[in-house]
Each structure stands twice: as structure tokens, then as C-alpha cells.
Structure 1
């Protein structure tokens, strides 16, 4: 029996309540605060970064995600963009139009790392460049915000971890929801025993429109004259110029990591943050290419099953992840956690806590009146929604804010290289399981395949 579970039982014992009556005791106050069965998650955390000179940043990889990350970074007070690197001329031109003609632009990322006036870099390249640019940036004395997944293959992780440790610099992996109010509230509720003992979790991503399933638009001027193709493929298989492989890179295994690396990794990151888990010990996946027959090498339907072992901080539980790019409803549940006494539906902005029906022995529900035992009881709600306070800037802002705050205050981030690798590894092994058609064993503590 883990420590948190024992503490929760002792808490209930002191109150004189059964486990099934928890909702009427510990959560009665929260439920009573709102007639609409909702509860506001207070901000509190989004304060100004300590005063000082601007932190000067550079973007390496100015596609959709990189541009979005940069826009978010520039919302944080005291952050200034001074340089952008990309292998496509059109993105460099667009960067100057968007962020100012005075920014430095280049197609060579080492030009960025050579500049002494740059404090930190955002790495938002295709996945196959994450490892090398991260290591080089840390070696050059830059703080690094690297998009998820941290690496392109499982064997690349230890080198990035070693580079972070030896550099002494801040390294944050960009699974943006990890730092969100929703995740923080879910972590608190789980620790306090709101759903009892965790036994199952699931996550589901659904998409259908072409852009969201990686049929990204290709510029009319895409050619070997506007794209540094040889640089792009210099660390992987040599091929003739292919505009699809450059602009729709997520569809190809040389550069991307498929559904698992793009989407499952978010769910692993949130789950591990909420539970303090190190990861699963057994991984199995299946799926197929069901609809998008556009030359892609990765499935458009993927199912993953994962066994999490018992540890000092959580019981053994199972995880099921699904991703469907042919979904007719476009419904998405980011993360659901199910316990012995309830469940939580978790997004970056809210948490819906659902409880089992309270037990008859609950002293708070025993009522007698003139009509005797047949009289109906006043019951507390068995579902409550925790919503972010109005004005909340969202998980991506929180994540970026935490990164810059750690730089200024010599602090720590929640998703460093070790955390990032433990989230990336089961996602990448999910791909390996799919291609090899077999289950894979993983040691989450030692971070090694078994």
C-alpha cells in the first residue's frame, strides 16, 4: 500500500467516514461553494518574472509550432526575439515581416549558437534534428526549450540528458500542457484521494481535416533553390529533393515520430506529472493506415496499451491510448483517470471530477423527518467541474513562463531532459511495437529496454 493511500485512509478514519463517503467530507466544502457544480481553479502562479534585462532568444525551426512557441514566449515580460533560423527561405522572409526587419535570419543553426547575445533558443525543427541541435546549443552555453518529443529514437535520449547535466543550463521539453492549471489541479486531487486508488487511465486524440492530419500546405516556390535540402537530410537517409518530405515531414519515419511522437507524448507527459510516475514497463501497440493513402509511412489509426508497475508513489495501473485521424465525430478526451472511487476528465484548462454514489453509512447523508425513512435525502452532487479562472493564459504560456523564470532565478523546470525522455521513450517504443508487431519491455527507472 503506497504512502499517499495510507495517509488518505488515516484522514478518513479521523473524520469517522468510510472511503465511499469521501465526497461528503473532504470535498463537501468544494461542492458546496458553487450552485452550478463548478469550481474555479485560481491562477496565483502567473506573476511577473523578476525584473532585469531582457532575455534574448532565437528560434530554430520557424514552421507552425515554432512560430506558435515564439508568439507565446514573447507574451512573457522581458523576452526579446533577436534571431530566426530555418531551411526554407519563405519562412525567413515571413519571420522578418512578423517580428521585425531587425532580427537576424540564417539557414545555419550554428550561426545562431555562435552569437554571444543569445541567451536561449527554441528548437522546433522536425524530430530528427532535436538531439543534435539540443546538444550543440547546450554546449554553446544556451538555455534550451525543445519541442516534444525530445528525441527521434530511444537510443538518443541518454546523450541529451548528459549534455544538460554537463552544461548546467536550463532545458525544457515542450509538452505545453504539463505546466497547466488543469494538470496541477488533477495532481492535487489524485494525491488527496479524490478518485481513490488509480487503476486505469486513457487518452484519445481525434482529427480529420487535412492540415491537422499533417497534410500541411506546400508553398508554390518550394524547390532546391528555396530549401536547403542537403542540410535537412544530412543526418539521415540520402534522397532526391522531395517537397512532401520537407513540408509534410511528420508522415515519414526518417524525420517524424508519427501519432505516438506527436500526440501520445503529450498524454504521457501529463500522466507522469499528475501521478509522479516514471513510466510503463510493458508497451504494445497496433493500428493501420485506413484512410490517408497519400504516401505516408505511418498509421492514421493507432492504439496503445501500457502496463505501469506498482511504485512507492502509485499503485499498478493500466493505460490505454488511442489516436484516430479518420474520426467522424472529432471528439477528443485529452486524459481520463479512473480510480476505485471516482474518475477525472482532464484538460489543460479544467478537470471534471466524478464520484461513485455515496454510501448509506455516510453520516452526512442520514436524514430523518416527519415522513420517516421514506423521505428523500439531500444528496451532494457526484460530479464537479474545476475550471480555470477567467483571464487564464493557458498551459503553453505557463510552460514558457516556467522556462524563463527558471533561467532568471537559477531554478528548475518541470519537464527537464530526464522527464522529457521518460515521456518520449514509451511513445517511441509504441512505434517500435507497431512496426515489429510485438510487445516491448522497458525499465522506466533505469530508462533502458529490457
Structure 2
């Protein structure tokens, strides 16, 4: 009698695969392809894999920093400044000492110290608040450096970014300023032959983004937009899942921002010693309308469209670039938006509740974004496919659709994931603030490579520096930035002008 061949996926197969093969590659070969072999429901009811990220390769983690030492200038040292400086390998003395217990570095400090020396030197800093410029110079001069590197000289403090760009002792700049300065500074830097790392959003408007793109391509400098999600293992995994057709054609992607504290609503406080003697108010305003010095506008500039970009530019850009990374969506055909400022009575003109729909008729799908600054529930980015749904943040979970012809013969439970990815690392430790936890949980803080916890921004700047040395384009280059800015700007126009906003792709024009 001929022995019946079993298609059952055994525990032994699973354990063997986890040790020897890339997880998704295994999953694709043993399940996503195997379903075609008439596997019976009695053979298979559910597969759930919870594994470390040892199989997910983040390219930047393997990039070498050998070669020319790159001389950097830091433009702006506000809330994001010390964080990016740590990613570059320079940590504040106070931050570092606070993480040493009984002479032993804590996990976060040790993770920082274990970062590779990026082979850079910071030659200059500037900020319109002189205290912050001094603080940036102090950080660069701190004894706490990653990879055992040394900064021999205290960086020069420039009066403004134009003086910095005029100095030949500089190869590239890191721009960490209010949004309304992004385009102007990046364009000036490109025309001065300096490479650019530019915090998101790339620009305030689509017109600025188009000009910056054209200047960047014309000058040949390397520009990286600061969407560090490009280095996040979960989004790399999500892209592979989409590309393999695991969840089927996607009709809707849902994205969110939920926050419920003052800091998340861009009420960041005002230093007691801040005044007209140590703030260059005129330089801060730039080409914006003159008004008398207003410390609230200076330190909490995100509350106004004049200097910032609202929830769409501040938060949706994170969500959009993650989705763009996974699905390569580009700019939508049309956008509608609504919302209002319902809860915060302080001076501001941005909404605290914001909703937008981004339509992609050529892809047969829409992308939605919902934001509230009065609830902190974590909601994952959700990709709704014909055969399954995928939730993504710092991890990934795939749920079969109960009506899927592909999966229903296996009698899978639609509320139980058929695949989960959860990063694990011995270096994981408590996240120290609500804001830090928010970004970590959304997949923007740390990532995991070969079981090791790594700062995603460190990998992102490492990629940028590698691309400068190699003369190649980074993952979030100026073209991706053009898509990001144009997309969120369309939603701001739809909200402010209360109309449907459309994109003329042929003429690269909003109508």
C-alpha cells in the first residue's frame, strides 16, 4: 500500500527553520507557497512564529565607515538635537552619567557606547538661541563617545548657518531647525556643495520640495530625509510580506497618531533665561512676517502653520513614509481632510483633531490618517488586503481574512495571527518618557539586528555617510522627500481651504 504523503508542518520543521533559514523565506516556502498543495484543514489550523530579528537584514548595519573622515556642521540644537547627536556618536555628559549605576553603564548607555565610530568630526554648530549652540558644542566635546572615538577640538560656534556654509572646513550639514527653514537651508547648502541630512518634513510646501529636489539633483549632493523608519526591521519585514502577495491586493491602509499630553501637543516649555539678548529673533523669523518677539512662538513653533506644518507634517509624514517604504505609493491623486482645534485654548492655529483620506485610484486603494491629541491609545498601521490584514509598528502581525479563498480552507481563526514578528533583545530596557515610548512603539526609535538593539537614527545617519563616501543615493533621498512633502501638503491645503485637492502628475502641480 502506498504511503500517503503528509503535508503537515511539524514542530520539528518549524524549529529547524528558525535556526537555519530566514524566517519569512521559510514561511514563504513552507506556508505561503505550500497552501497551493491542497493542505487539508486537519493538517494545519494555525502557524504563529515569535522570533528574534536574527534573520532580518538591515543593510545599513553592515555598511563600513572606513574612508574619508567627513566634517559635519550642526544647524539647530532644539528638542531633536541631542538625540541626533547621540546617533552621530556624541552624548551629553549629564545624560550619560545618569545612566551609570555603581560604575556600570546601563543598557541604553552601553548600547550607545557600542555604536560604531562613524569616522566623522563635527567642526561647527549654530543655533538662533546662543545657549543651545553652546550646549551643542559641550555635547560634541563630552568624553562620552561611541566606538571609542575622540573629538580633538571643540567645534566652532557660528553666528548663523550662512557663515557655516561659507567655511571650506565642512563637507556636510545636519539640519535640525523649525520647518520653515528646511528648504532654504538645504538649498543653500546644496549650492555650496555641502551634503545634507534634513529632519522631516523635508519642506513646508510642494513648491519648496520641487525646487529642493531640482537643486539637489543638479548639484549632485547627497540628501537624506530624517525618516529613520527606513532602518526599522518591522517595515523591512512588512515590505517583504506585501511583495510576496501574502495578504493579497491592498484596498485600504489605515494610519494614526494618538497623543494625550502637553508635550505631544507641542507645548514644550520656555527656558527661564531665554530673552532678547540670547535669541536672534530676526534670524528665527527669516522670510516670515515681522512681529515682536514671542517666546511661545519661538520655543513652541509647531503650534503655528507659519513655522510648522501641523499634524500632517509633524506626525503623518512618519506614517506616510513607513507606508511608502512598504508599498512605494508615491503621491496620491486626490486628498480630502477635516478636523479642528477643539481642546487646546492656548494660542495656536493647527488642529488637535485631524482626519485625511489620500486616494490612489490607479492602485485601487486609499490611505487614511486620523489624529487626536486627546487620547493616547496606540493604534497600529493596518494594511487591509483581500486575503489578510497586516498590523505594523515595532512588530508585525498578519491576520487571515475569514472570506479569503486562499486561506479559508485551512479553517484559520480571523482573530488569531497566522504570522507574528516580535523583536527581542537582551538589551531592551525601559523607555524613559511618554514621548520616547510613543516613538519606540510606533517603530521610530530602536530597531533590532541580529538580536541586538540599535538606534534607528544611528543607522539612518550611518547610511547617509556611507552614501556620501560611495557617491550613491540613500533610502530616503530627495525624491522620497518630494513625495512626502507633496502628500502631506495636499492634506494641509484640503484642510485649510476646505476643498478636494488633486495632483496633476504630468505637470507636477497641485490643482
CA contact (8 A) 2:397 2:417 kept: no
Distance 1:19 1:264 in 2: 43
1:383: how far off? 3.8
Matched, 1:384 2:399: no
Change (3 A) 1:216 1:444: farther
TM-score (norm 2): 0.75
What is the aligned counterpart of 1:17 among 27, 36, 39? 36
SS at match of 2:276: coil
Q: Do the aligned partners of 1:344 and 1:354 also contact (CA within 8 Å) in 2?
A: yes
The Cα shift of 1:235 comes to 0.8
| CA 1:14–1:114: 2 relative to 1, 3 Å | closer
- Give the one of 359, 372, 380 matched to 1:324: 372
Matching residue of 1:79: 120
Question: Does structure 1 residue 223 correspond to structure 2 residue 275?
Answer: yes
Alignment of 1:39-438 (within 5 A): 41-43=55-57, 45=59, 46-74=61-89, 75=115, 77-100=118-141, 102-310=154-362, 315-327=363-375, 330-347=376-393, 349-357=394-402, 382-387=418-423, 388-389=448-449, 390-438=451-499
C-alpha displacement at 1:299, in angstroms?
Answer: 0.6
**1:326: Cα distance to partner?**
1.0
Q: Is the 8 A contact 1:38 1:384 kept in 2?
A: no
- Alpha-carbon distance, 1:362 to partner: 7.2
Partner of 1:4: none
Tell me the equivalent position of 1:3.
Answer: none
CA contact (8 A) 1:161 1:418 kept: yes
Show the counterpart of 1:371. none
Secondary structure of 1:273's match?
helix
Q: Report the Cα distance in structure 2 between the residues aligned to 1:171 and 1:125, rounded to whole angstroms.
A: 16
Q: 1:179 to 1:55 in 2, by over 3 A?
A: same
1:195–1:342 contact (8 Å) kept in structure 2: yes
Q: Distance in 2 between matches of 1:359 and 1:125?
A: 48
- Inter-CA distance 445–185: structure 2 relative to 1 (3 Å threshold): farther
Equivalent residues of 1:353, 1:385 under 8 A apart: no
Name stretches of at least 5 consecutive residues in structure 1 with no aligned partner. 1-10, 367-375
TM-superposed deviation, 1:359: 7.2
Shift of 1:444: 4.8
Match of 2:509 in 1: 448
Stretches of structure 2 that go unaligned for 5 or more consecutive residues are 1-29, 90-114, 142-152, 424-447
Residue 227 of structure 1 deviates from its aligned partner by 0.6
Name the CA distance, whole Å, in 1 between partners of 2:463 and 2:330: 21
Q: Measured at CA, do residues 39 and 150 of structure 1 come closer, stay the same or move farther in structure 2, by a change above 3 Å?
A: closer
Deviations 1:36-79 (A, max 9, x none): 58875534531242412321211101111133222212255212
Helix, strand or coil: the match of 1:333?
coil
Please report how far the alpha carbon of residue 209 of structure 1 lies from its aligned counterpart in structure 2 after TM superposition: 1.5
* Separation in structure 1 between the aligned mates of residue 293 and residue 359 of structure 2, nearest angstrom: 42
What's the offset of the Cα at 1:393? 0.9
SS at match of 1:116: coil
- Aligned counterparts of 1:326 and 1:13: Cα–Cα separation in 2: 41
* Equivalent residue pairs, number: 416
CA-CA distance at 1:363 after TM superposition: 11
CA displacement at 1:298 relative to structure 2: 0.6
The 8 Å contact of residues 311 and 351 in structure 2, kept in 1 or not, is answered as: yes
Q: Give the Cα separation in 1 of the matches to 2:220 and 2:340.
A: 43
Does the 8 Å CA contact 2:463/2:474 hold for their aligned counterparts? yes
Q: Could you say if the C-alpha distance between residues 41 and 292 of structure 1 is closer, same or farther in structure 2, counting changes exceeding 3 Å? A: farther
CA-atom RMSD in angstroms: 3.1
The change in CA–CA distance for 1:92 and 1:12 in structure 2 (over 3 A counts) is closer
- Looking at structure 1, the residues matched to 86 and 32 of structure 2 have their Cα atoms a distance apart, in angstroms, of 50
SS at match of 1:318: strand
